[in-house]
């Protein structure tokens, strides 16, 4: 089942060009997957694996190989000659080669603590990448809703053009029958040409924004794709659920693992060791010949007094915890301030939308009267165009405010982490 889901997502990502509509959620998904920063997750995972392998080598036997040749100015000699002993002083040139093996037997959990610290660092870095990717959502919002706004404007201009073209036919007929002044059709034709220019400008701006969004989400977007109006629901009762809060907790976990490692710094270490080799002289310094030798043993290493360095390190880590708590307090404060500002913006836009709807109702009545007056030759085409433009400006304001409301709500949700 997991494989099927994965294949479906891959095909979905590749097939963005063939979709008829593009949603905001799709853009969120693609930026999390395709933005260059996302590649660092795999790199960090590989690096962490190598770091853990390096740390765990401390549990493995350590081998040392030595070859040594020396020449010295003097050697140990008997102060007096003992008849019949045949004792010869060692040579001034001496040679030895050996291999030593050291095996850690006990380190008080120091290696495991170091591995835990490295794992904590890895999780913190991963969360920082997640936060950076999450913060790109507002950039996606701005581009996506700007494109939506242009899309709505184009539809509105096209509707206005169609209405003018229909009115032009009536005016042309009125001129023919002498009920409307000549040149009235020219005024309408000029307005239609101006609208066509505006549509071309909208298409050019939309293309630029789509190209920018395409680069941001790492996927080609066809300019013919329709951007879907999302249904954005805000919930003011939910708590802040931003990934930054998880990062603060991970920072605390990292500090605690650091404390654990520091507490083990002065733990006694027990090592087993063995050395074997060949030397001239061997272990018997009085025998002037190449001999094999070995020794084995066990040793204890314990730093009994460190001038309170460990204690001071732990105190420093406790200060770091307080710093993280302070950072979290500042983050919550700033986020709540931003949320309050966004809630006020949402309320303001909602009131604008209500006013826009009332204005449009009145403008439609005025335009209906103007259309009748134009048909009967009471007013000029310019006067009619003025009223038509007023209506479409009101409708454009309504559409713009609706898009702004969606953008404000989407940004609110991103700020809150919902």
pLDDT in tens, 297-318: 999 998 888 788 888 989 999 9
What percentage of the chain exceeds 70 in pLDDT? Answer: 92
- Which one, of 382, 387, 386, lies nearest residue 180 by Cα? 382
pLDDT in tens, 126-184: 999 999 999 999 999 999 999 999 999 999 999 999 998 988 888 888 877 776 777 77
The whole-number pLDDT of residue 52 equals 95
pLDDT in tens, 95-136: 999 999 999 999 889 999 999 999 999 999 999 999 999 999
The whole-number pLDDT of residue 87 equals 65
pLDDT in tens, 263-282: 888 889 999 999 999 998 88
pLDDT at 3 over 70: no
CB 387, CB 367: distance < 8 Å: yes
Mean pLDDT of the region 327-345: 96
> What would the DSSP string read from start to end of 212-244?
HHHHHHTS---TTPEEP-------TTSPP--HH
Look at strands 291-301 and 226-227 and give their pairing: unpaired
The whole-number pLDDT of residue 297 equals 94
pLDDT in tens, 360-379: 999 999 999 998 988 888 88
Cα(17)–Cα(402) distance, rounded to whole angstroms? 27
pTM of the predicted model as reported, rounded to 2 decimal places: 0.82
E-assigned strand segments in 125-268: 226-227
């Amino acid at each position: 089942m997991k494989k099927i889901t994965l294949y479906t997502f891959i095909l979905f990502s590749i097939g963005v060009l063939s979709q008829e509509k593009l949603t905001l959620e799709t853009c969120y998904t693609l930026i999390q997957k395709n933005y260059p920063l996302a590649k660092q997750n795999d790199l960090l995972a590989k690096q962490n694996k190598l770091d853990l392998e390096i740390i765990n080598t401390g549990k493995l036997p350590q081998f040392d190989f030595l070859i040594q040749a020396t020449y010295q100015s003097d050697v140990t000699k008997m102060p007096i000659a003992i008849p019949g002993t045949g004792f010869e002083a060692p040579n001034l040139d001496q040679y030895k080669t050996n291999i030593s093996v050291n095996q850690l037997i006990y380190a008080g959990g120091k290696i495991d603590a170091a591995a835990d610290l490295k794992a904590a660092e890895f999780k913190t870095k991963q969360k920082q990448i997640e936060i950076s990717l999450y913060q790109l959502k507002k950039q996606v919002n701005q581009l996506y809703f700007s494109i939506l706004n242009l899309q709505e404007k184009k539809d509105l201009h096209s509707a206005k053009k169609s209405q003018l073209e229909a009115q032009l036919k009536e005016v042309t007929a009125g001129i023919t029958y002498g009920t409307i002044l000549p040149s009235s059709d020219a005024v309408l034709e000029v307005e239609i040409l101006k609208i066509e220019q505006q549509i071309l400008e909208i298409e050019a701006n939309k293309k630029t924004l789509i190209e920018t969004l395409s680069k941001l989400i790492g996927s080609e977007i066809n300019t013919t794709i329709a951007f879907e109006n999302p249904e954005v629901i805000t919930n003011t009762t939910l708590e802040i659920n931003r990934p930054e809060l998880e990062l603060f907790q991970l920072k605390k976990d990292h500090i605690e693992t650091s404390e654990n490692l520091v507490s083990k710094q002065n733990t006694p270490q027990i090592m087993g060791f063995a050395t074997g080799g060949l030397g001239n002289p061997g272990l018997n310094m009085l025998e002037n010949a190449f001999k094999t030798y070995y020794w084995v043993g066990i040793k204890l290493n314990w730093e009994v007094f460190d001038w309170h360095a460990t204690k001071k390190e732990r105190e420093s880590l406790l200060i770091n915890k307080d710093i993280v708590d302070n950072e979290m307090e500042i983050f919550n404060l700033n986020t709540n301030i931003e949320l309050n500002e966004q809630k006020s913006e949402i309320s303001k836009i909602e009131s604008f939308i209500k006013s826009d709807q009332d204005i449009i109702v009145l403008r439609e009545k005025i335009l209906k009267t103007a259309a009748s007056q134009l048909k009967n030759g009471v007013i000029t085409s310019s006067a009619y165009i003025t009223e038509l433009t007023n209506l479409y400006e009101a409708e454009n304001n309504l559409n713009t405010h609706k898009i702004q409301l969606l953008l404000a709500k989407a940004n609110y949700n991103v700020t809150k982490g919902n």
